[in-house]
A = this chain, B = another copy of it.
Amino acid sequence: MVANRVRHTVAFTLVHQEGSAEERDFLDAAERLADIPGVEAFELLAEVSPKNGYRFGISMEFADGAAYDRYNEHPDHIRFVQQRWVSEVSEFIEIDYAAR
């Protein structure tokens, strides 16, 4: 990775049944996080390791920590966390990477 750049990732599991309309609706809403200014290289992924219980992942990159902070404070992000994430995600882990 380039210096200063941050890759923000989160692996998660939903409370919804696999393949349900509720799952699809949550993932559609999560994909709209890509529209928040500063978000780059956005990916909504399947988590496929048998060594943990997470089923999905989101990966996004920011040019620097300031851009990451602006994302965290953006009203669309705060609204998504409050209205969707808190009630529809059962387990998650956030892991953020930068150049060494």
Residues of A within 8 A of B (CB): 1, 6-9, 11, 27, 43-49, 51-52, 54, 56-57, 59, 93-100
6 smallest A-B Cβ distances: which pairs? A49-B96, A45-B97, A46-B100, A48-B98, A51-B94, A48-B96
A98 & B52 in contact (Cβ 8 Å cutoff):
no
In the assembled complex, the CB of A14 is this many whole angstroms from the nearest CB of chain B, namely 13
Number of copies: 2
Interface of A is mostly: strand
CA–CA, A56 and B43, complex, Å: 21
B6 & A98 in contact (Cβ 8 Å cutoff):
no
Asked, given contacts A1-B43, A43-B1, whether A49 binds B94 with beta carbons under 8 Å apart, the answer is: yes
